[in-house]
Each structure stands twice: as structure tokens, then as C-alpha cells.
């Protein structure tokens, strides 16, 4: 067993050596046909990689709107179209969420015209009252401090989680947590305690989150602009939305309720660059085919000149199988080398600082180059090499020794 | 050691079918016994079937009649794979036209047979081949391209290549045919000595009486048979 494995290993290594020598001899012709293969592999790899990176970025940004499956629920008075008070709708929502066994459910209560004040400055902020499940629903990451907890509603000073923009605009960068900030406006006047900072991508206005319970407690005059949301398994999510709608209506007789799925998967935001991707892959496929054909052409022309050489190798003890494999390896070694170059080109193109600066402008954390795209490129190169090598290899294996070395 | 039987041919025949359908009987009944370390010379005029016989001895071709034994084993009808195995391990060829691999250096040519070996022979092929080239006096021409070397030097590379796997038999088909008389004599002396040192049997096929004269046992190939020459007949 071990001896056989060792023979296979040396056979593979030796075939590669032979193939490499043969390629070295025809280097210019081989090089030219490989340019095509390298370019094609580069474009396929780059396209697939860009597609995957884009998809991941889109997915991440969509998921901050709510991870699939996401159900949004709102309730309003049918007669005047006015939203209903939180005091009325929230208990109904909590009852329904509990009845359907939904783990991740949160209110989203917006408070406008709130001014945050620190020793240094004073800014208008966007304050939202949420349940602890909000972080899971929107994939909120809190690298500094912590997210809101159920027990925060007992605190005398409401706990607050803010975004980077908030810290920056209120001159709190570098201040150790927890730290306090005054919130005023719309019937609210309280000193809140910042317990965490999220890494959310900001859009100018400082944002802050506090528990819905705290917001309701500290804001006099019940807030009304509220929505509700759930994160449920994708399987059967549409039916669940319908059932929740019915259950909410039953809890709130005579009122209008809307419950519907609104995550990106529900409206098919699957592959943002789908069609372009297929066009590029199609063109690359044609280039690849041309590269393979010219490689095949070289191999077929040279095999005629090499019949004698194959006979000589057979006299050293090369079996027909070995001759077949070695000749095939010539194409494979060549295209794999070209494939490697192609993959490197693709990485250089996609991870280029210029591309990151101008094409992906403003996005701070671009995902890494997907390994799967690199492997795909290499696999394509290998397959093309094997395909171009099979015909000359068959011819080589048929060479009759005594005819080949006849003087 | 020298009494050990290596190759035994009994009534070996080789017939080929010509394009017009007739049979050409190149070899009709060849009998030959070669022992380890033997040096055998076979002379014959052009077209008598010398190369055909050598191809049979080296398992490049199969007899159409008779039996061929390798170290006591009947190999008349073995598979191509088994024949390749024996060739790789036990046979070294030296051809009239040198048959060096084009575009490869002297060292790469001598390393080439080791690509079909395994284990130590394979992994240390560079060292082994370099030592072999040194032995034929080309230790300073390792990276030379054969086409820029003289005929004598090329044939010395071919000899190094034939001996690099330490075969039990070396088959030389008109090894001096493409060389001038002086160079030919020198190459023959080297071949004779190198095979002698490695303990291999040497079978030289030639149309040149002087070349055959170097061998200890001599035969003449004619009418499809081997005829022992004077000394051989006396033994
Ligand atoms: N495969 C073949 N088909 C037809 N004729 C052949 C074949 N092989 C050898 N011959 C003929 O057989 C004769 C002996 O060939 P060969 O062994 O090469 O002779 P030598 O090496 O003694 O000059 C020649 O006449 C050659 O043309
Ligand atoms: Mg001949």
C-alpha cells in the first residue's frame, strides 16, 4: 500500500517535471496561448469575487433593515388614519408575539425633536425606543460597552446606546463608558446614561436607542409614532404574517392593522449584479475556449515532432499510461500556472486601493476576497488544461515504440 | 555471478506483414544465452534484422515464434506494462543516432530515466545523474545542450543515460555508426569499460568487425539466425 502510494507520488512529481521541461522548450508559443487563459480566468474570478463581495455588502446593508424573515406591524385608526397610541397597541403586540412563540419581537417608537446636551455641545438627535430583541433583528453590533437589557428599565437614569456619529457630534469620543447625557424636548427631560456604542453606519444625524419601557416612562404624553417588528424563521413566514395580522385585529377590534413581510429576500434582492455577471462570464468562457484551442493546436503540432521522443521515453520504461498522463500534464501545468496568474490579477483588480476608493466609496469595511472565487478560477483553469490535453495525450499513448525509434 | 543466466532465446522468430500482404521473415530461429556480465558482439550486414533482434531483447517488441526468457522467467507474451517495468529496471539502450531528448541539457537527459524510478533513485536523480556523467568524463558539461556537443560527447551522454539506473543488460545498436573511426573506438572502449565496472551484460550490434572484436563472445547474424564466430565456436 505504502509502496504503491509512493509510486503514485513520484509518478505525479515526475510527470510534472517532464511537462515543465516540455513547456520550457516551447515557451513562446505556449506563453501566447496562455495569455488568453490567464485573462479569462482573471475575468471569471474577478467577476465572481466582485459578485460575492457585492452580495455580501448588499446583504449586510439590507439586514440592518431587518434580517429575513422580518415582519413589520403597524396599527392605526381607520376613520382618520392616525396612528394609535403605544399604550394601546404595544400590549396587544406583546400578547400576540407571546402567543405565536416569537422570540425576537420589538417595538420601534420614534421620539423627534430631542436635544442631547453634554458639557461640550448640544445636538438634535434621533431617539428610538426599542426592546432588547432589536439588536438581534437588525444585526446591531456593539463593539464598545453593551446593548440594552431587560433590567435597564429599573434604572433611575435610562440606559442609552448610541452610534459613532452621536459620540463624534457631542464631543464624547474617548470618554470612558458609562457616561451621562441630558435629553430634552417633546415632554422629556432626563439625564440618560450611555452604556454602549454601536458600529452602525451613520448617516449624519446622531442616533440613540433606549428601552421602549424607559421611553414611555420618561416621555410625558404618550408617544404615537410607533411600529412593531418580528424576526421569524423564513420557512412559513408569509403565512405567519397573515395569522399575526388576524390575531392583532382580534386584539384591537374596530382598528386597522397591517402585518407583512418586508425583508430583502421577500422582494427578491438576491443577486445585485446577476445579469452583468453572466455576460462577463460568457465572454470569459469564449476567451478561455480560444486559449484552450490554441493550446490544443500547439500540442497537436508538437506531438508529431515528438513521436521519436516518446519512443525514447518508452525505452526507459515509460508505460502508455504514464505517457498519456505526462502529455496531458503539459496542458494542465500550463493552464494551472496561467490560472494562478489570472487569480492573482483578479485579486489585484478587486482589492485595488483605487477600486476601494472610487467604486466602493464610503464603505469602510469591504469584505475580504472570497476564497471560493479563487478556487473556482483555478478549477476552471485545471479543467481547460485537462480538456485541451486529452487529445494529444491519446495520440501520444498510441505511439508504437519500434516505429518511433526506427532509424 | 557471471554464470547466472540472464537472457535465453530459443528458436526466436520475428515475421512482419508487409503492406502488400506478404510475410517477411526477418528472424527465423535465433538461439542465444546471455549471462550476467557477458559482453556479446553481434555483426551482420545492413538489413539482416539486427535492430529487430535488439528490439526483441529489450522487450520493445515481441517474438512471433520461439521463447524469450528473462532470468528464467518466460517473457514471450508479457503485458506492455510488465515489459515497461523490466525495461526501466534492467535494460539500458544505446542507439546509433544517440536519441538524446532535444532541448534538454546533458544532465536532464541522464536524469530522464530516473523519472520512471521511485524512492531514492527518483528524489536523488540530480546527484546520481551528475555522478554518472562524471564517470563518462562529462562532469564539466552538465548544463550543455546536446546539439552543441560533438558526436562522441553525445554518445557518451547516451551511455551515461543507459547506465544511470544500473541495468543488468545494456543493448547497443550500432553505437559507433554515426561516429568517425577514432571517436568510435574511444566510445566503444568507454562503453565496454563502464558496463564492465557496473557488472552489466553488454550486447553490441554492429556491422563493423572491429567494433565486434572488442566483445568476448561474437556472433554473425545471417538468414535470420545467429552463427557463432570462430572463438565462440571453440568455447
Ligand atoms: N515493421 C516492419 N515492416 C516492414 N519491414 C520491416 C519492419 N521491420 C523491419 N523490416 C525490414 O526487415 C529488415 C531488417 O530490419 P532491421 O532489423 O532494421 O535491420 P538492420 O538493423 O540489421 O539493418 C529490413 O529489410 C527492414 O526493412
Ligand atoms: Mg539497424
Q: How many CB atoms are located within 10 Å of the residue A139 CB?
A: 15
Q: How many CB atoms are located within 10 Å of the residue A349 CB?
A: 16
Q: Which CATH number do you get for residue B152?
A: 3.40.50.300
Cα separation, B166 vs B106, in Å, equals 18
CB A77 within 8 A of CB A195: no
Which chain A residues contact residue B110 at CB under 8 A? none
DSSP label of B148: G
Coil, helix or strand at residue B95:
coil
Q: Does residue B168 belong to any structural domain of this protein?
A: yes
Nearest atom in ligand 1 to the alpha carbon of residue B49 is: 17
Tell if the CB–CB gap between A407 and B58 is shorter than 8 Å: no
The residue range of the domain holding B151 is 38-62+78-219
H or E element, residue B234: helix B230-234
Q: Does residue B196 belong to any structural domain of this protein?
A: yes
Q: Which residue bears the cell 460568457?
A: A282
For A317, the closest of B87, B97, B103 (CB atoms) is B87
Q: Does residue B125 belong to any structural domain of this protein?
A: yes
CB B90 within 8 A of CB B83: no
Asked if residue B44 has its Cβ within 6 Å of ligand 1, the reply is yes
Question: Which bound ligand lies closest to the C-alpha atom of B50?
Answer: 1
Enumerate residues 264 to 323 of chain A having a beta carbon within 8 A of any beta carbon in chain B: 308-309, 312-322
Touching check for B97 and chain A: CB below 8 Å? yes
Strand order, beta sheet including B91-94 = B91-94, B169-173, B201-206, B39-43, B217-222, B225-228
Tell if the CB–CB gap between B103 and A7 is shorter than 8 Å: no
CB B221 within 8 A of CB B44: yes
Which chain A residues contact residue B88 at CB under 8 A? 316-318
Q: Does residue B16 belong to any structural domain of this protein?
A: no
3-state secondary structure chain A: CHHHHHHHHHHHHHHHHHHHHHHHHCHHHHHHHHHHHHHHHHHHHHHHHHHHHHHHHHHHHHHCCCCCCEEEEEEECCCCCCECCHHHHHHHHHHHHHHCCCCEEEEEEEEEEEEEECCCCEEEEEEEEECCCHHHHCCCCCCEECCCCHHHHHCCCCEEEECHHHHHHCCCCCCCCCEEEEEEECCEEEEEEEEEECCCCCCCCCEEEEEHHHHHHHCCCCCCCEEEEEECCCCCHHHHHHHHHHHHHHHCCCCEEEEEECCCCCCCCCCCCHHHHHHHHHHHHHHHHHHHHHHHHHHHHHHHHCHHHHHHHHHCCCCHHHHHHHHHHHHHHHHHHHHHHHHHHHHHHHCCHHHHHHCCCCCCCCCCCCHHHHHHHHHHHHHHHHHHHHHHHHHHHHCCHHHHCCC
- Evaluated on CA atoms B68, B72, B78, B79, the torsion sign reads negative
Which of B89, B94, B116 to mutate: most A Cβ within 10 Å? B116
CB A351 within 8 A of CB A367: no
Chain B residue with CA closest to A16: the answer is B115
Domain count, chain B: 1
Cα separation, B94 vs B160, in Å, equals 9
Q: Does residue B142 belong to any structural domain of this protein?
A: yes
For B116, the closest of A318, A320, A401 (CB atoms) is A318
Per-residue pLDDT of chain A (407 residues; tens, 9 = 90+): 677 888 888 888 888 888 888 778 777 777 877 888 888 888 888 888 877 777 777 777 777 777 788 888 888 777 776 767 777 788 888 888 888 888 898 988 888 788 888 887 888 888 888 999 898 888 888 888 889 888 888 888 888 899 888 888 888 888 887 888 888 887 778 888 888 998 876 667 888 999 888 888 777 765 667 888 888 888 888 888 888 888 888 888 878 888 888 877 766 655 555 677 777 778 888 878 887 888 788 778 878 778 888 999 999 899 999 999 988 888 888 889 889 999 998 888 887 777 666 665 555 556 778 888 889 889 989 998 898 889 889 988 988 888 888 75
Asked if residue B206 has its Cβ within 6 Å of ligand 1, the reply is no
Cα separation, A97 vs A100, in Å, equals 5
Q: Does residue B22 belong to any structural domain of this protein?
A: no
Which of B115, B146, B161 to mutate: most A Cβ within 10 Å? B115
From B1, B27, B7, B173, select the one nearest B75 (Cα to Cα): B7
Touching check for B166 and chain A: CB below 8 Å? no
- Burial, A120: exposed, middle or buried (Cβ in 10 Å; 0-12, 13-18, 19+)? exposed
H or E element, residue B188: helix B181-198
Q: Which residue bears the cell 530459443?
A: B10
Cα separation, B102 vs B92, in Å, equals 19
Cα separation, B133 vs B141, in Å, equals 8
Low-confidence ranges of chain B (pLDDT < 70): 1-3, 230-235
Q: Does residue B105 belong to any structural domain of this protein?
A: yes
Touching check for B150 and chain A: CB below 8 Å? no
Asked if residue B16 has its Cβ within 6 Å of ligand 1, the reply is yes
Tell if the CB–CB gap between B80 and A320 is shorter than 8 Å: yes
Tell if the CB–CB gap between B51 and A407 is shorter than 8 Å: yes
How far does A49 lie from chain B, in Å, by closest CA?
39
- Burial, B107: exposed, middle or buried (Cβ in 10 Å; 0-12, 13-18, 19+)? buried
Nearest atom in ligand 1 to the alpha carbon of residue B174 is: 21
Cα separation, A252 vs A75, in Å, equals 9
Q: Does residue B181 belong to any structural domain of this protein?
A: yes
Cα separation, B170 vs B157, in Å, equals 14
ipTM: 0.90
Q: Which residue bears the cell 547516451?
A: B158
Of the CA atoms within 13 Å of residue B1, those in its CB half-sphere come to 6
Q: Spell out the alpha helix ranges (H) of B144-180.
A: 151-163
H or E element, residue B145: none
Residue B135, all three cell numbers: 564517470
Probe residue for ligand 1, chosen from B21, B23, B47 as the CB with the greatest number of ligand atoms within 8 Å: B47
Tell if the CB–CB gap between A402 and B61 is shorter than 8 Å: yes
Nearest atom in ligand 1 to the alpha carbon of residue A402 is: 1
Question: Own/partner pairs for B176-179, CB < 8 Å, 24+ apart?
Answer: B176/B206, B176/B208, B176/B211, B177/B96, B177/B206, B177/B207, B177/B208, B178/B96, B178/B97, B178/B98, B178/B151, B179/B151, B179/B152, B179/B155
Helix axis angle for A274-305 and A27-63, nearest 10°, is 160
Which of A304, A319, A399, A404 to mutate: most B Cβ within 10 Å? A319
Cα separation, A64 vs A299, in Å, equals 55
Give me the pLDDT at residue A359, please.
Answer: 61
CA distances from B148 to A333, B99, B102, B143, B144 (A): 29, 15, 11, 11, 7
Ligand 1 atom 24 nearest Cα: B47
CA distances from B164 to A27, A35, B52 (A): 29, 39, 24
Ligand 2 centroid from CA B61, angstroms: 14
Residue range B141-196, pLDDT digits in tens: 999 999 999 999 999 999 999 999 999 999 999 999 888 988 999 999 999 998 98
Give me the pLDDT at residue B2, please.
Answer: 45
Tell if the CB–CB gap between B84 and A317 is shorter than 8 Å: yes
Of the CA atoms within 13 Å of residue A306, those in its CB half-sphere come to 25
Asked if residue B46 has its Cβ within 6 Å of ligand 1, the reply is yes
Amino acid at each position: 500500500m505504502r509502496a504503491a502510494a509512493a509510486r503514485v507520488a513520484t509518478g505525479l512529481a515526475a510527470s510534472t517535471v517532464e511537462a515543465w521541461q516540455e513547456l520550457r522548450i516551447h515557451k513562446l508559443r505556449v506563453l501566447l496561448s496562455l495569455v488568453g487563459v490567464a485573462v479569462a480566468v482573471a475575468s471569471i474570478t474577478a467577476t465572481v469575487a466582485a459578485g460575492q463581495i457585492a452580495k455580501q455588502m448588499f446583504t449586510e446593508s439590507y439586514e440592518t433593515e431587518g434580517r429575513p424573515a422580518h415582519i413589520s406591524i403597524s396599527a392605526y385608526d381607520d376613520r382618520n388614519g392616525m396612528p394609535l397610541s403605544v399604550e394601546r397597541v404595544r400590549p396587544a403586540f406583546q400578547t400576540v408575539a407571546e402567543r405565536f412563540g416569537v422570540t425576537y419581537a420589538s417595538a420601534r417608537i420614534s421620539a423627534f425633536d430631542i436635544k442631547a446636551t453634554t458639557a461640550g455641545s448640544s445636538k438634535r438627535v434621533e431617539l428610538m425606543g426599542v426592546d432588547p430583541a432589536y439588536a438581534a433583528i437588525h444585526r446591531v453590533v456593539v463593539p464598545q460597552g453593551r446593548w440594552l437589557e431587560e433590567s435597564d428599565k429599573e434604572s433611575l437614569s435610562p440606559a442609552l446606546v448610541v452610534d459613532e456619529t452621536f459620540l463624534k457630534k457631542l464631543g464624547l469620543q474617548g470618554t470612558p463608558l458609562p457616561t451621562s447625557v441630558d435629553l430634552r424636548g417633546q415632554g422629556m427631560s432626563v439625564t440618560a446614561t450611555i452604556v454602549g456604542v454601536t458600529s452602525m453606519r451613520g448617516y449624519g444625524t446622531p442616533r440613540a436607542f433606549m428601552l421602549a419601557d424607559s421611553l414611555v416612562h420618561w416621555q410625558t404624553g404618550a408617544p404615537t409614532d410607533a411600529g412593531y417588528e418580528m424576526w421569524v424563521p423564513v420557512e412559513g413566514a408569509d403565512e405567519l404574517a397573515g395569522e399575526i395580522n388576524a390575531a392583532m385585529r382580534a386584539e384591537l377590534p374596530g382598528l386597522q392593522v397591517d402585518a407583512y413581510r418586508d425583508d430583502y429576500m421577500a422582494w427578491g434582492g438576491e443577486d445585485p449584479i446577476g445579469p452583468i455577471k453572466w455576460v462577463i462570464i460568457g465572454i470569459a468562457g469564449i476567451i478561455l475556449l480560444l486559449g484552450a484551442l490554441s493550446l490544443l493546436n500547439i500540442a497537436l503540432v508538437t506531438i508529431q515532432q515528438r513521436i521519436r521522443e516518446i519512443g525514447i521515453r518508452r525505452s526507459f520504461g515509460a508505460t502508455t499510461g504514464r505517457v498519456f498522463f505526462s502529455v496531458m500534464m503539459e496542458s494542465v501545468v500550463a493552464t494551472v500556472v496561467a490560472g494562478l496568474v489570472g487569480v492573482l490579477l483578479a485579486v489585484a483588480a478587486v482589492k485595488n486601493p483605487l477600486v476601494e476608493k472610487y467604486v466602493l466609496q464610503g464603505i469602510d469595511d469591504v469584505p475580504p476576497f472570497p476564497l471560493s472565487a479563487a478556487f473556482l478560477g483555478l478549477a476552471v483553469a485545471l479543467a481547460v488544461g485537462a480538456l485541451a490535453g486529452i487529445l494529444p495525450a491519446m495520440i501520444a499513448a498510441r505511439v508504437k515504440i519500434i516505429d518511433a525509434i526506427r532509424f | 555471478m557471471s554464470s547466472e543466466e540472464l537472457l535465453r532465446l530459443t528458436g526466436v522468430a520475428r515475421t512482419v506483414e508487409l503492406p502488400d500482404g506478404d510475410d517477411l521473415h526477418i528472424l527465423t530461429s535465433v538461439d542465444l544465452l546471455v549471462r550476467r556480465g557477458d559482453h556479446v558482439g553481434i555483426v551482420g550486414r545492413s538489413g539482416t534484422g539486427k535492430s529487430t533482434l535488439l528490439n526483441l531483447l529489450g522487450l520493445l517488441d515481441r517474438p512471433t515464434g520461439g521463447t524469450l526468457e528473462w532470468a528464467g522467467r518466460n517473457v514471450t507474451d508479457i503485458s506492455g506494462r510488465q515489459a515497461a517495468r523490466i525495461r526501466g529496471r534492467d535494460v539500458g539502450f544505446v542507439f546509433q543516432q544517440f536519441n538524446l531528448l532535444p532541448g534538454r541539457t546533458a544532465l536532464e537527459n541522464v536524469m530522464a530515466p530516473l523519472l520512471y524510478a521511485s524512492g531514492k533513485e527518483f528524489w536523488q536523480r540530480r546527484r546520481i545523474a551528475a555522478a554518472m556523467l562524471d564517470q563518462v568524463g562529462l562532469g564539466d558539461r552538465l548544463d550543455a545542450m546536446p546539439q552543441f556537443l560533438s558526436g562522441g560527447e553525445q554518445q557518451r551522454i547516451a551511455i551515461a543515460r543507459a547506465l544511470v539506473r544500473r541495468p543488468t543488460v545494456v543493448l547497443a545498436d550500432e553505437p559507433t555508426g554515426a561516429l568517425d573511426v577514432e571517436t568510435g573506438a574511444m566510445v566503444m572502449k568507454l562503453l565496454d569499460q563502464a558496463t564492465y565496472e557496473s557488472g552489466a551484460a553488454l550486447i553490441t550490434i554492429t556491422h563493423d568487425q572491429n567494433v565486434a572484436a572488442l566483445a568476448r563472445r561474437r556472433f554473425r547474424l545471417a538468414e535470420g539466425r545467429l552463427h557463432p564466430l570462430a572463438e565462440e565456436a571453440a568455447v
